[in-house]
Amino acid sequence: MAEVKPMFREVLPKQGQLSVEDITTMVLCKPKLLPLKSLTLEKLEKMQQAAQETIRQQEMAEKNSSK
């Protein structure tokens, strides 16, 4: 298999100062919050489900009484 030559070659300075900045630091970002249901929304959903269930029961009662 042919050897692949790198496009760039490493160059080190012959004189002067060589410095390396490889310091890991923490980066703060905005928190990603998931939307949570509020208690009010849960209560409204329960009320809506109860209302739909009573409507279904009334419709079933009307169907049974009309037969």
Give 60 or 2, the one with higher predicted confidence: 60
Give the HSE-up count for residue 21: Cα atoms under 13 Å, Cβ half-sphere: 1
Please, are residues 67 and 61 in contact by the beta-carbon 8 Å criterion?
Answer: no
51 pLDDT exceeds 70?
yes
Does the pTM surpass 0.85? The reply is no
CA–CA distances in Å: residue 30 to residues 2, 26, 33, 34, 35: 48, 13, 9, 13, 15
User: So what's the pLDDT on residue 39?
Assistant: 82
Give 47 or 7, the one with higher predicted confidence: 47
**What are the boundaries of each domain within the chain?**
37-66
At 11-32, the pLDDT tens digits run 777 787 766 677 778 888 888 7
Please, are residues 18 and 12 in contact by the beta-carbon 8 Å criterion?
Answer: yes
